A and B are shown apart, each in its own frame.
Chain A
Amino acid sequence: MPSATFSIWRGDRESGGLKDYSTEVSEGMVVLDAVHKIQAEQANDLSLRWNCKAGKCGSCSAEINGLPKLMCMTRLNTLPLDRPVTVEPMRSFPPIKDLVTDVSWNFRVKQGIKKFKPRPPDAPDGTWRMAQQDIDRVQEFRKCIECFLCQDVCHVLREHHHFDGFAGPRYFVHIAALEMHPLDVEDRVEELKKAHGIGYCNITTCCRKVCPESITITENAIIPLKERVADHFYDPLSRLFRMFQSKKKEGTHAGTETAAQGRDSGSAGAR
């Protein structure tokens, strides 16, 4: 069997560096397999996260040859093996040990986002009616596996360390999923600007490019949200319109539907 060299970052909270390991590789292997083999045979105390081995859980995020990727979905035959493959932890988060980083900040951000609030049920049995085409668009956002690779590449976090007051692309996707949910009647536009700092995003699209679920983060989630923010804060006419709408929103069920449609058409231009 041919062998390949992997330069894996070993270290802890204070310090660390790349360490080379050579191991045999075989057809079809992914980076996670190689790291596991090294762990079992040469470095029992090597730390990493993984669960599903099939791109479904978002645990095994790392930087492979400098690019943010899932280790379990990165085939060795897509990498040049004539030189060492570097495997490093996500650099935007504090290191814990080896490939494991402290991602707890992400969980705290989510806690600060207003939860789903549905309109009253459509049918007497307490259920709702929704058309497939209305949910297709939101389902894209709901594919997110919370791998945090998009957070890792976003320069607002990576270079400017804006961990206070910027939610990051993962959570713009989450907010978009809530705001565009056909049943949701909550309003998160004020916080988007203030607490979640969507204004810091200058649409570099780096996040979209690394998303393993191919979610069109910038075009489908961030830009429509930015437009809602712009409408809300800077457009006096639409502000008046909204005041009127939100009164209706509290009133009848039919009113909320119009409100939802109104919001949606506001973003249609961006797509």
Chain B
Amino acid sequence: MPDYQTHTYDVLVIGAGGAGLSAAIEASSAGVSVGVICKSLLGKAHTVMAEGGIAAAMGNVDERDNWRVHFADTMRGGQYLNNWRMAELHAKEAPDCVRELEAWGALFDRTKDGRILQRNFGGHRYPRLAHVGDRTGLEMIRTLQDHGIHQGIAVHMECTVLRLLTADGRVVGAFGYDRERGRFLLFQAKAIVLATGGIGRAFKITSNSWEYTGDGHALAYHAGAALMDMEFVQFHPTGMVWPPSVMGILVTEGVRGEGGVLRNKEGRRFMFDDIPELYRAQTADNEEEGWRYTQGDRNARRPPELLTRDHVARCIVREIKEGRGSPHGGVFLDISWIKERLPKAEEHIKKKLPSMYHQFKQLADIDITKEPMEVGPTTHYMMGGVQVDGDTQMSTVPGLFAAGECAAGLHGANRLGGNSLSDLLVFGKRAGRYAAAFAKENTAGAIDADQIQQAAAAALQPFERSGSEGPYQVQQKLQEIMQDLVGIVRTESEMKQALVEVEKLRQRAAKVSVQGNREYNNGWHTALDLPNMLTVSEAVTRAAIEREESRGAHFREDHTAKSAEFGKINIVIGKGADGETKIARRPIPEMPAELKQTIEEMQ
């Protein structure tokens, strides 16, 4: 038997981003014991990087906003594949969650009358994003962290979960290691909340950090839970493209919300050339009206730069492919032009977008108050994930919950900006509440020593091999394959090729060796992340082959139209009894008449 330390909690939360911390706070205030595990130090999770804001229909800037409008916007953005119950709860509960953050010390930018200010963002009909300049995620995670540490929650920083432990069809614990010493850890728990974030590291150009290796998706899959909507990977239209070392780093949509415009090398605002039917009525058809919208004119319609991300990303790809791109293979994003319209524009930009100013100045020698930026699409967000119940966030495995980016449902085929941070708060809280309830109703399950044995043995194998290649080469190759063959524009033949390549990489991954010992060994950590990346890459590819249509973030060159048939189903992936991947089409449940009517009214 391997050596390990044991920790026992009623509820174990895996992940300390916005979703994990919200879940932990809620569960502990329900009176159960709570442990939180995270791969990085506390406060460094992805949530810290979020820039633009938190979507919540508070109506502080435009009182016409309310949950119904937010619900309809979210469903339209998701092309109606969303779990409508989640979209409904999210729209209804987000405002209170934002107010709760304020009560815990978060300081949002203010309106003239002293309330929380809200800004415009793509796909949201009214100004809806509560924000703090362009560092909203930092404000959010710090507030949750500082509140959480006084709640008696046990935090295990720099620990990684390798496997979920199951017994009698439910989850009973988790097995992992601490990064610092490389010692094994057993967490016994009555309920587990997965809040592990996304999968962006499976792609070459990404705004995501090393943490985003799809661990939660893979852990859930191997524990027998169903994954849903895996074909929907969001490519954010604006990532940095130059210099090469910063390629993929995000340029917040807030730039466009503040009046930034996209141009090709001919100086044309190409977004006016292609406005989808679904959005025509809500989109400005001239530059003047678009500008007025960004400056708060309530009678103006939004400029086409603020159309949904999938669409803007594809328009950019088209411009680049057709030879109208910028020198370094992107397009131009210009905020400096607003000096033609605003006095003191430079100061205004620095005030509204301080970290963007800083980022370009320091990393690319570009002063965004004076010259345009060059931008191109970057892998950003995973809409797909663990299939959960809309109310409780429980997966198809009893006792296993999921919230935040690693859960599926709220965003459907495409997420609106700002809807993630609110997702974390609303569903993190719900997952925490129902996990606590589950823990109260159930006793601890028995731990199966075989499962521990297997996980430990697999984890140590890379040390026992020698002379073979290291993990980084395999990781890089996978990133290239996914980027090239399962990226923004997809076709069946390329994706089938990707499956073949992924299988080859699986063989290579099974042979990688690492040098050194178990203490804080990044090479070993990377070797252990590889199987998860391969699992999610395969799931993404299979789901993308299955969906023979183009919808939201999923664009098929060989099926460019939307299909009514595929509009009625979600694609679900699960692990079969013999370890094989099962793929199924799950009909979307009928929406209640009241919600249907809401959507009609908001057309």
A44 and B472 within 8 A (CB): yes
B105 and A145 within 8 A (CB): no
B249 and A53 within 8 A (CB): yes
**In the complex, which residues of chain B have a beta carbon less than 8 angstroms from the beta carbon of A33?**
245
A55 and B358 within 8 A (CB): yes
- How far is B363's CA from A29's CA once the two chains are assembled, in angstroms? 8
Given known contacts A28-B242, A33-B245, A45-B515, A57 and B105 CB-to-CB distance under 8 angstroms: no
- How far is B107's CA from A178's CA once the two chains are assembled, in angstroms? 11
- How far is B472's CA from A106's CA once the two chains are assembled, in angstroms? 32
B363 and A47 within 8 A (CB): no
B107 and A138 within 8 A (CB): yes
Given known contacts A50-B209, A55-B359, A142-B107, A45 and B521 CB-to-CB distance under 8 angstroms: yes
**In the complex, which residues of chain B have a beta carbon less than 8 angstroms from the beta carbon of A73?**
362-363
B245 and A28 within 8 A (CB): yes
CB of B355 closer than 8 Å to a CB of A: yes
- How far is B520's CA from A135's CA once the two chains are assembled, in angstroms? 41
Stretch at the interface among B139-147, B278-286, B430-438: B139-147
CB of A240 closer than 8 Å to a CB of B: no
| B-facing residues in A36-75 (Cβ within 8 Å) | 39-41, 44-59, 73, 75
A44 and B471 within 8 A (CB): yes
Stretch at the interface among B109-117, B408-416, B589-597: B109-117
- How far is B114's CA from A52's CA once the two chains are assembled, in angstroms? 33
CB of B43 closer than 8 Å to a CB of A: yes
Given known contacts A129-B114, A143-B135, A118 and B42 CB-to-CB distance under 8 angstroms: no
CB distance from B480 to the nearest CB of A (A): 14
Per-position 1/0 for B98-140, Cβ under 8 A of A: 0100111101011001111000000000000000110100110
CB distance from B375 to the nearest CB of A (A): 14
A135 and B107 within 8 A (CB): yes
Query: Across chains A and B, which 7 residue pairs bring their CB atoms closest together, nearest first?
Result: A28-B243, A45-B516, A44-B523, A129-B114, A116-B105, A40-B472, A97-B520
Interface residues of A (CB under 8 A from B): 12, 26-30, 33, 39-41, 44-59, 73, 75, 96-98, 100, 103-104, 107, 110-111, 115-116, 118, 126-132, 135, 138-139, 142-143, 145-146, 178, 181, 183-184
| A-facing residues in B20-52 (Cβ within 8 Å) | 40-46, 48-49
The A interface, classified by DSSP as helix, strand, loop or mixed, is loop
Number of interface residues of B (CB under 8 A): 64
CB of B210 closer than 8 Å to a CB of A: yes
B249 and A54 within 8 A (CB): yes
Task: Kindly identify which residue among B40, B49, B180, B476 contacts A54, using a CB–CB cutoff of 8 Å.
Answer: B49
| A-facing residues in B513-542 (Cβ within 8 Å) | 514-516, 519-524, 526
* Closest A residue, CB atoms, query B99: A127
B40 and A49 within 8 A (CB): yes
Q: Pick from B133, B147, B520, B526 the residue with the most CB of A within 10 Å.
A: B520
**In the complex, which residues of chain B have a beta carbon less than 8 angstroms from the beta carbon of A107?**
41-42, 149, 157
* Closest B residue, CB atoms, query A78: B362
CB distance from B157 to the nearest CB of A (A): 8
* Closest A residue, CB atoms, query B246: A28
Per-position 1/0 for B173-207, Cβ under 8 A of A: 00000001000000000000000000000000000
CB of B579 closer than 8 Å to a CB of A: no
A51 and B210 within 8 A (CB): yes
Given known contacts A53-B209, A59-B44, A138-B107, A127 and B115 CB-to-CB distance under 8 angstroms: yes
B519 and A127 within 8 A (CB): no
Contact sample, A vs B, 16 pairs, CB 8 Å cutoff? A26-B244, A28-B245, A51-B44, A54-B249, A55-B355, A75-B363, A107-B42, A111-B150, A118-B103, A126-B99, A127-B115, A128-B102, A128-B114, A130-B110, A145-B48, A184-B105
* Closest B residue, CB atoms, query A70: B362
A116 and B104 within 8 A (CB): yes
CB of B418 closer than 8 Å to a CB of A: no
B249 and A97 within 8 A (CB): no
Identify 11 new A-B residue pairs, CB closer than 8 A, beyond the known A39-B523, A135-B110. Answer: A27-B243, A29-B245, A30-B245, A51-B45, A52-B48, A54-B359, A57-B40, A115-B105, A127-B99, A129-B114, A135-B107
**In the complex, which residues of chain A have a beta carbon less than 8 angstroms from the beta carbon of B103?**
118, 126
- How far is B157's CA from A111's CA once the two chains are assembled, in angstroms? 15
A131 and B114 within 8 A (CB): yes
Given known contacts A28-B246, A128-B102, A143-B138, A100 and B520 CB-to-CB distance under 8 angstroms: yes
CB of B470 closer than 8 Å to a CB of A: yes
**In the complex, which residues of chain A have a beta carbon less than 8 angstroms from the beta carbon of B515?**
44-45
B40 and A59 within 8 A (CB): yes
- How far is B104's CA from A131's CA once the two chains are assembled, in angstroms? 18
CB of B211 closer than 8 Å to a CB of A: yes
Task: Kindly identify which residue among B102, B135, B516 contacts A127, using a CB–CB cutoff of 8 Å.
Answer: B102
* Closest A residue, CB atoms, query B247: A28
**In the complex, which residues of chain B have a beta carbon less than 8 angstroms from the beta carbon of A53?**
209, 246, 249
- How far is B46's CA from A51's CA once the two chains are assembled, in angstroms? 8
- How far is B115's CA from A116's CA once the two chains are assembled, in angstroms? 20
CB of B345 closer than 8 Å to a CB of A: no
Given known contacts A127-B115, A129-B113, A29 and B522 CB-to-CB distance under 8 angstroms: no
A139 and B522 within 8 A (CB): no
Task: Kindly identify which residue among B43, B142, B519 contacts A97, using a CB–CB cutoff of 8 Å.
Answer: B519
B522 and A47 within 8 A (CB): yes
Task: Kindly identify which residue among B44, B104, B355, B472 contacts A39, using a CB–CB cutoff of 8 Å.
Answer: B472
- How far is B107's CA from A116's CA once the two chains are assembled, in angstroms? 12
**In the complex, which residues of chain A have a beta carbon less than 8 angstroms from the beta carbon of B522?**
39, 44-48
- How far is B243's CA from A29's CA once the two chains are assembled, in angstroms? 7
Task: Kindly identify which residue among B110, B209, B246 contacts A132, using a CB–CB cutoff of 8 Å.
Answer: B110
**In the complex, which residues of chain A have a beta carbon less than 8 angstroms from the beta carbon of B250?**
54
**In the complex, which residues of chain A have a beta carbon less than 8 angstroms from the beta carbon of B514?**
44-45
CB distance from A257 to the nearest CB of B (A): 13
Per-position 1/0 for B447-459, Cβ under 8 A of A: 0000000000000
B520 and A98 within 8 A (CB): yes
* Closest A residue, CB atoms, query B109: A132
- How far is B153's CA from A107's CA once the two chains are assembled, in angstroms? 14
- How far is B154's CA from A268's CA once the two chains are assembled, in angstroms? 40
B244 and A56 within 8 A (CB): no
**In the complex, which residues of chain A have a beta carbon less than 8 angstroms from the beta carbon of B43?**
57-58, 146
**In the complex, which residues of chain B have a beta carbon less than 8 angstroms from the beta carbon of A59?**
40-41, 44
* Closest A residue, CB atoms, query B364: A28
**In the complex, which residues of chain B have a beta carbon less than 8 angstroms from the beta carbon of A129?**
113-115
* Closest B residue, CB atoms, query A143: B135
B245 and A51 within 8 A (CB): no
Given known contacts A28-B363, A53-B209, A142-B139, A44 and B249 CB-to-CB distance under 8 angstroms: no
B363 and A54 within 8 A (CB): yes
* Closest B residue, CB atoms, query A51: B209
A49 and B41 within 8 A (CB): yes
- How far is B44's CA from A49's CA once the two chains are assembled, in angstroms? 10
CB distance from B527 to the nearest CB of A (A): 9
* Closest B residue, CB atoms, query A114: B150
B48 and A57 within 8 A (CB): yes
